[in-house]
């Protein structure tokens, strides 16, 4: 196992290139199962979660070539198998998005339930409800979701659950509906840019989809899809993380390749906190003189403030004078990083699904434990400002979703190294 050691205090300055979006690439790679023809996906980040998805496809007898250095994944799913086992699925919850394409293509599939998750309860009741609406018989038995049908038929489906619309649930519905007979209307659909990207990919495969990226998506089923060549959108969460890194170090970063329109809520909150953000020719420049104001943040489905940026924003507020309240409305228990930040001297407490953060003058380095992907990003950010050395253990979590984060940070002035534990 590896750990990251950060010595805080250096303001970040320079340019960071943003990689392709993990959360776009994962369902898009799964969607290649909908055709037997070759598909080429570009801009795919080199991350362990992408590797997990490719491994599952290979296990399903699908030909997958991952050109890691070029960010290209080629898939040809001539005769995919329909069973995704626990040993592979448990490594990554996003594997649940195999259900829709496998059911759509094969009309019979079994995908293991992934098991527990440190960011909280992650039920799939909405996925199952949706697939049933399309005429599938879905049962959960022996740890597997078993979905089968004679054929799928278009229907009206509502995808809004207790915590708003579900991203991968919406992806599953879309992928099941593109080959269904007739028209499907998904209401309460997730509006995340990653869903719009999936719709664009499917459209380039010959699917008939209207409204991708909005709350109502209409899909007219087609007989079959063909191969396609697609480039995934830039990773808005990686971009947001570097924006917060510039802010927490009082730095000046140019974020290249990100789409500012996907980062409205994040930009808005950072500006409210006193960070200067300008846009120029496809780059976002983030400048901070370290003079920050506390802000209250409530996470929500897109276009609200993303839950995937909550830990990073919490890190920023730990060193911002005043009191900020960070409330989780998407994953109410996603606060594992808070007690680790307290180890660095942060003054924060949990009240239900909110963290009350009282900014301190400075954090001080200590060993901390990463619990999940975004929590570890939050801890790395805290380490960038803490006095002395912060050791972030279990760094494999960060490698699931950030391509070479240590190298990218080092290139803009961070004192950061990766060492074997």
Indicate the SS3 state at residue 10.
coil
Q: Does 94 bind ligand EPU (CB under 6 A)?
A: yes
Report the C-alpha gap between 377 and 366 in whole angstroms.
16
Q: How far apart are CA 64 and CA 227, in angstroms?
A: 14
- Report if residue 330 touches ligand EPU, rule: CB under 6 A: yes
DSSP 57: H
For every residue of 242-296, DSSP letters joined together read HHHHHHHTT-EEEEES--GGGGHHHHHHHHHTT-EEEEETTEEEEE--S------
Q: Which is nearer to ligand EPU, 162 or 361 (CB)?
A: 162
Identified catalytic residue from 39, 109, 117, 348 = 117
- List the one residue from 10, 23, 32, 249 that touches ligand EPU (CB under 6 A): 23
Residue 325 Cβ, how far from ligand EPU at the closest point, in Å?
Answer: 19
Our finding on whether 373 is near ligand EPU (CB under 6 A) is yes
Q: Does 242 bind ligand EPU (CB under 6 A)?
A: no
Q: Please report how close the Cβ of residue 290 comes to ligand EPU at its closest, in angstroms.
A: 28
Decide whether 373 or 409 has the Cβ nearer to ligand EPU: 373
> Minimum distance from CB of 274 to ligand EPU (Å)?
26
Q: Which is nearer to ligand EPU, 127 or 267 (CB)?
A: 127
Position 250 contacts ligand EPU (CB under 6 A): no
Rounded least distance, CB 160 to ligand EPU, Å: 9
Q: How far is CA 242 from the centre of its chain?
A: 15
Is residue 61 exposed (0-12), middle (13-18) or buried (19+ Cβ within 10 Å)? Answer: exposed
The CA-based angle 416-395-326, given to 5 degrees, is 90
Q: Which sign does the torsion angle of CA 68, 14, 377, 370 carry? A: positive
Site for ligand EPU in 152-191 (CB under 6 A): 161-163, 166-169
Q: Of the listed pieces 5-13, 115-123, 131-139, 239-247, which binds ligand EPU according to CB under 6 A?
A: 115-123
117 is catalytic: yes
Give CA separation, 101 vs 111, 130, 216, in Å: 11, 13, 20
CB of 1 to ligand EPU, least distance (A): 20
Select 292 or 355, whichever has its Cβ closest to ligand EPU: 355
Quick one: which of 242, 331, 335, 402 contacts ligand EPU (CB under 6 A)? Answer: 331
Using rule CB under 6 A, residue 123 touches ligand EPU? yes
Name the minimum Å distance from CB 137 to ligand EPU: 18
Q: Verify binding: residue 91, ligand EPU, rule CB under 6 A.
A: no
Q: Does the protein bind ligand EPU through residue 326 (CB under 6 A)?
A: no
d(CA 26, CA 56): 11
Copy the structure tokens of residue 244. Answer: 């917060």
Return the structure tokens found at 93: 């919850």
Q: DSSP secondary-structure letter at 232?
A: P
Site membership for ligand EPU, residue 307 (CB under 6 A): yes
Task: Please identify, using beta-carbon distances, which residue of 126 and 283 lies nearer to ligand EPU.
Answer: 126
Interface residue with ligand EPU, options 10, 95, 112, 126 (CB under 6 A): 126
Query: What are the tokens at 7?
Result: 């010595």
* Token pair 């009741």: residue: 125
Closest CB to ligand EPU among 30 and 75? Answer: 30
At its nearest, how many Å lie between ligand EPU and the CB of residue 226? 25
Q: How far is Cα 123 from Cα 314, in angstroms, rounded to an integer?
A: 26
Cβ-based nearer residue to ligand EPU, 119 or 384: 119
Angle at 97 between CA 92 and CA 101, to 5 degrees: 140
141: exposed, middle or buried (C-beta count within 10 Å: 0-12, 13-18, 19+)? exposed
Sign of CA dihedral 76, 80, 83, 85: negative
Residue 26 touches ligand EPU, criterion: CB under 6 A: yes
- Provide the minimum distance between the beta carbon of 50 and ligand EPU in the complex, in angstroms, as a whole number: 11
Question: 3-class DSSP state for residue 367?
Answer: strand
- How many Cβ atoms are within 10 Å of 148's Cβ, its own excluded? 15
Which residues are near ligand EPU by CB under 6 A? 23, 26, 94, 121-127, 161-163, 166-169, 194, 307-308, 330-331, 373-374, 401
- List residues with catalytic annotation: 117
């Amino acid at each position: 196992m590896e750990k990251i050691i950060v010595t805080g205090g250096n303001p970040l300055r320079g340019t960071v290139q943003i990689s392709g979006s993990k959360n776009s690439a994962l369902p898009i790679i799964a969607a290649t199962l909908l055709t037997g023809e070759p598909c080429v996906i570009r801009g795919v980040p080199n991350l362990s979660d992408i590797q997990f998805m490719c491994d599952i496809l290979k296990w399903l007898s699908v030909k997958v070539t991952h050109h890691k250095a070029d960010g290209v994944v080629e898939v040809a799913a001539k005769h995919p198998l329909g069973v995704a086992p626990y040993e592979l699925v448990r490594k990554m919850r996003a594997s649940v998005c195999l259900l829709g394409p496998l059911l759509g293509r094969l009309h019979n599939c079994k995908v293991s339930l992934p098991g527990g998750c440190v960011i909280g309860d992650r039920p799939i009741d909405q996925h199952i409800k949706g697939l049933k609406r399309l005429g599938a018989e879905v049962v959960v038995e022996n740890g597997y979701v078993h979905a089968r049908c004679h054929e799928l038929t278009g229907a009206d489906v509502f995808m809004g659950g207790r915590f708003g619309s579900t991203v991968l649930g919406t992806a599953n519905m879309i992928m099941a509906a593109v080959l269904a007979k007739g028209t499907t209307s998904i209401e309460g659909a997730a509006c995340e840019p990653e869903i719009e990207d999936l719709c664009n990919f499917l459209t380039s495969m010959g699917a008939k989809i209207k409204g991708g990226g909005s709350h109502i998506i209409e899909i007219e089923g087609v007989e079959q899809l063909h191969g396609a060549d697609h480039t995934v959108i830039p990773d808005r969460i990686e971009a947001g993380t570097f924006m917060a890194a510039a802010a927490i170090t009082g730095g000046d970063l140019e974020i290249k390749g990100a789409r500012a329109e996907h980062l409205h809520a994040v930009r808005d909150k950072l500006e409210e906190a006193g960070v200067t953000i300008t846009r120029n020719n496809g780059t976002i420049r983030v400048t901070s003189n370290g003079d920050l104001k506390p802000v209250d943040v409530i996470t929500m489905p897109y276009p609200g403030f993303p839950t995937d940026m909550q830990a990073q924003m919490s890190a920023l507020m730990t060193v911002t004078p005043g009191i900020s309240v960070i409330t989780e409305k998407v994953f109410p228990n996603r606060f594992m990083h808070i007690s680790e930040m307290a180890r660095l001297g942060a003054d924060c407490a949990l009240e239900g699904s909110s963290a009350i953060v009282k900014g301190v003058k400075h954090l001080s380095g200590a060993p901390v434990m990463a619990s999940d992907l975004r929590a570890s990003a939050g801890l790395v950010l805290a380490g960038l400002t803490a006095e002395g050395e912060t050791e972030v253990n279990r760094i494999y979590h960060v490698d699931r979703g950030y391509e070479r984060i240590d190298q990218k940070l080092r290139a803009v002035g961070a004192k950061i190294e990766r060492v074997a534990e």
